[in-house]
Chains A and B, each alone.
Chain A
């Protein structure tokens, strides 16, 4: 009796969870571009053709399994070939494949036509973030995950789980609606893949290569995606967020970006206090360094070195700056000289030399970085 209750409880639990299933996606979404819709249509068509073939073949098999068994007294027939039948089931699949190939070819040719674009954005993969460069606009920026705590076992539990966890970034890529935006893809280190399913765009970013694709959509909104090619430790933590805005809002956003860049350039000229540097440094550290060296500065043993009491940090400032600006070849330590401005590098160097008990007391100004470059 008790067992029966338990079973009933389990079944009702399974049922209720399958009711909740309605919220979960089971299939591709049509998306918002001509080729995500094209891909969706061809996906749906091929899937149903497969289902139909499956019903016929497995249906015949099931019939045989039920009827043609020894326990039912069925005697084995002796036929073992039939040329006509064999020719038919070689030819018919060819015809079915032809029906699939024609629309697939059409969709593909459309996807690969990047001509007559209205604007271009160069997307560069980095371990483990994206860089967007609006060509001809002098606007470029990095895009990082907003929850660096997700990256490590020790801190992962601090992350609030919601619809956008792991799918949110600090700087979104913004594009205007109804414009053909050409995308150029390359990489700074290993191969990544830029993928937003609602656009139907997935392209590898490959060091030394420039790949192309394009987006044009008439639906404003926020679209999310992730890196799709294994690119090292934090492959799971480099989301993509693209915001499609009206032309007007897009131009506002672009102007805002330009103003912010000018402000950052001006801040490199002034002299900062230690507190300002420490505050800015902590932010810069969290987005650029913490993924490997960890928020605690302890690194990951044998994979990424710790910074607490590290000889480079406790030693000569010039060497410390050199490592950050130029990277360390042959290791995962990137050259941040091209990624961060003088003020951010000064701040992060100051931060690393004074945080976690590294009390060197050194204060490094943006002008020091400028001189060191």
Chain B
């Protein structure tokens, strides 16, 4: 039986479908991974352009460019696109490319579902962005209630386009759930002989855990938006106090999804960093099993801390204490991870190619975001930080300087394996330094204005906040445009005209099944499973 399958594969080896059909009907994990990554990159520029509109308006006091109503649409869509359209699809794209190669599988376990879970996304974001296009053309308002869409602002007071938004979130949710099922099925069933769970690369482990988080919480989000839908259109009162409902219940449901969601966006980043640091330190990862346990602990804790986003809603004091203590506990496993990375670097033989630079910057800046996270966990202090620019600084440090940086690191790290060509190291380093200086100019001053009392999501501010806002805007424009360096570098590497060919191992310290494949990796990864000792 297996001989028959092998023969079948043999004759189709590297036979790629051609034309648009290759992409539309693709069941190939690499092509789908590529589409996820390209989609995410496109969304990065769209969401980034919105961020620049926000920063341009906040360059100085007074209104200069947009009306407050449009400003709110920008903050809302910027958040939704960056969370659901950039970070999540980019990690799914990396998983698609790398998980089968890392565990010695030929492809994902459920290739047709893989195709559908990708192709739902352009539809979902098409609908969401259509609402903005209509808003610009003067046909109603796009979603304007923040990416957290608290009721009743999003239900009773939401614009007509809220129903577009709800449909779009449902589609994103279905896509994520299917992607997660696929990853779990692949990891459980297609590992090479000898690759026990505790021998899996950390990236595979972190995605394995992330996939469970997705399956657990995306239905909760779907429930929340469905209740919104019926509140808006069918006369129910889930979130309307006047009808016996409860607007705070919305927040509980949303954050029961929302807190695990932030770990969905950071656990794969931990995985990426745990692949890159040992490679460039030329030393095995320190404390492999404690890395796995720490990741699992973070995943578990993520389910019991959600109400730390809601300290100001007036919970009973015992609940505030519980959520404060539980949230503080997250510092322990997160600390373990950081200590392990530093110990991996310790007494290594390090070199600093672009992926390593991004990975080291990730550790430092993510840790800063972790510190402010610990500060935010302290409920009495959170009353001062909540809904200010301090929070904006915090979550951008973990999501941009953290998650997005890990994605940049991953792209530079694996691009030679994907394309067979080395990227331009000089341009890579230029991209790193320009980005790192500007991103800190962008987000670090936000800590100061937040502590000084500037609320988030406001289109205009008192002149006492002007100077740091100007710094942030300058940083934002440099950071935004420096991503064009990355775009150019990727295009140049893919075209491969003036590039160096990559070896199979690519990096001197690289270790793992994916580096045993040729560069570029063949269309079907492992037709005969390798054996892991």
Q: Which A residues have a C-beta under 8 Å from some C-beta of B?
A: 17, 20-21, 24-28, 35-36, 38-40, 42-43, 46-47, 50, 53-54, 57-58, 60-61, 64-65, 68-71, 74-82, 85-86, 89-90, 93-94, 97, 100-101, 104-105, 107-109, 111-112, 127, 150-153, 156-157, 159, 161-167, 185, 189-191, 193, 195, 197, 200-204, 206-209, 211-212, 225-237, 300-303, 330, 332
Contact B384 A68 (CB under 8 A): no
Partner of B387, one of A38, A104, A228, A233: A228
**In the complex, which of the residues B72, B380, B467 contacts A235, with contact meaning CB atoms closer than 8 Å?**
B72
In the complex, B355 has a CB within 8 A of chain A: no
**B168-187 to A contact mask, C-beta < 8 Å, 1/0:** 00000000000000000000
Contacting residue for B314 out of A38, A189, A204, CB 8 A: A204
Mind listing 11 A-B residue pairs with CB under 8 Å?
A20-B467, A24-B448, A39-B384, A64-B347, A68-B350, A80-B287, A81-B289, A107-B380, A153-B67, A202-B312, A235-B72
Interface string of B427-444 (1 = CB under 8 A from A): 000000000000000000
Q: How far is the CA of A209 from the CA of B250 in the complex (A)?
A: 14
Contact B455 A227, beta carbon cutoff 8 Å: yes
Contact partners of A20 in chain B: CB under 8 A: 467
The interface residues of chain B lying within 8 Å CB-to-CB of A203 are 312, 314
- Supposing A101-B328, A332-B157 touch, asked if A300 and B460 sit within 8 A by C-beta, the answer is no
Q: Is B451 an interface residue (CB 8 A)?
A: yes
Query: Does any Cβ of A come within 8 Å of B342's Cβ?
Result: yes
| CB-contacts of B250-306 with A (<8 A) | 281-290
Which of B62, B286, B320 gathers most chain A CB within 10 Å?
A: B62
Chain A nearest Cβ from B468, distance in angstroms: 7
Given A17-B467, A50-B375, check contact A230 B146 (CB 8 Å).
Answer: yes
Whether the Cβ atoms of B388 and A166 lie closer than 8 Å is no
Beyond the given pairs A26-B452, A78-B284, 7 more chain A to chain B contacts, judged by CB atoms under 8 angstroms and listed by A's residue number, are A50-B374, A76-B348, A78-B283, A90-B332, A90-B336, A104-B379, A232-B144
Once bound together, how far apart are the Cα atoms of A206 and B65, in whole Å? 32
- Give the B interface residue count (CB, 8 A): 99
Q: Are B363 and A61 in contact (CB under 8 A)?
A: yes
- The minimal Cβ–Cβ distance linking B335 to chain A, given in whole angstroms, is 5
CB-CB under 8 A from B157, the residues of chain A are: 127, 189-190, 232, 332
Q: Complex: how many Å from CA A80 to CA B400?
A: 30
Of B152, B281, B329, the contact of A76 (CB 8 Å cutoff):
B281
CB distance from A326 to the nearest CB of B (A): 15
A100–B378 CB distance below 8 A: yes
| Residue in B63, B371, B462 whose CB lies within 8 Å of A50 | B371
- A165 and B453 alpha carbons, distance in the complex (Å): 14
Assembled-state Cα–Cα distance A331/B325 (Å): 42
The answer for the CA separation of A144 and B143 in the assembled complex, in Å, is 26
A153-B288 contact in complex given A69-B351, A190-B153, A209-B241, C-beta closer than 8 Å? no
Does B378 contact A28, Cβ atoms closer than 8 Å? Answer: no
Given known A-B contacts A25-B451, A165-B463, A236-B459, A94 and B345 have beta carbons under 8 A apart: no
With A93-B331, A227-B455, A230-B146 given, is the CB distance from A76 to B347 under 8 Å? yes
**Is B360 among interface residues, defined by CB-CB distance under 8 A?**
yes
Which residue of the partner chain, among B289, B351, B379, contacts A71 with CB atoms under 8 Å? B351
Which of B325, B360, B388 is close to A228, meaning CB atoms less than 8 Å apart?
B388
Q: Is the CB of A54 within 8 A of B153?
A: no
Q: A166 to B248, alpha carbons, bound, how many Å?
A: 29
Q: How far is the CA of A229 from the CA of B456 in the complex (A)?
A: 8
Residue of B whose beta carbon sits closest to that of A71: B351
Residue B321 CB within 8 A of the other chain: yes
Complex Cα distance A235/B364, Å?
A: 35
The reply to whether A152 and B63 contact each other, CB–CB distance below 8 Å, is yes
- Contact present for A226 and B455 (CB under 8 Å): yes
B residues in contact with A82, CB < 8 Å? 286-287, 343
Q: Tell me which residues across on chain B come within 8 A of A105, comparing CB atoms.
A: 321, 324
Q: Does B55 contact A (CB under 8 A)?
A: no
- CB pair A64–B321 under 8 Å, yes or no, is no
Residue B150 at the A interface, CB < 8 A? Answer: yes
Query: Distance in Å from the Cβ of B126 to the closest Cβ of chain A?
Result: 21
Complex alpha-carbon distance, A75 and B312, angstroms: 53
CB of B346 within 8 Å of the partner chain = yes
A contact residues around B67 at 8 Å (CB): 152-153, 300
Contact A200 B248 (CB under 8 A): no
- Let me know if A204 and B320 touch, CB within 8 A: no
A77 touches B68 (CB 8 A): no
Give the CA-CA distance A190 to B241 in the complex, in Å. 11
A211 contacts B153, CB within 8 Å?
no
Question: Is B457 in contact with chain A by the CB < 8 A criterion?
Answer: yes
Tell whether, in the assembled complex, residue B339 and residue A89 are in contact, meaning their CB atoms are under 8 Å apart: yes
Cβ of B317 within 8 Å of any chain A Cβ, yes or no, is yes
Given that A151-B68, A230-B145, A332-B157 are known contacts, is A302 also in contact with B140, CB under 8 Å in the complex?
yes
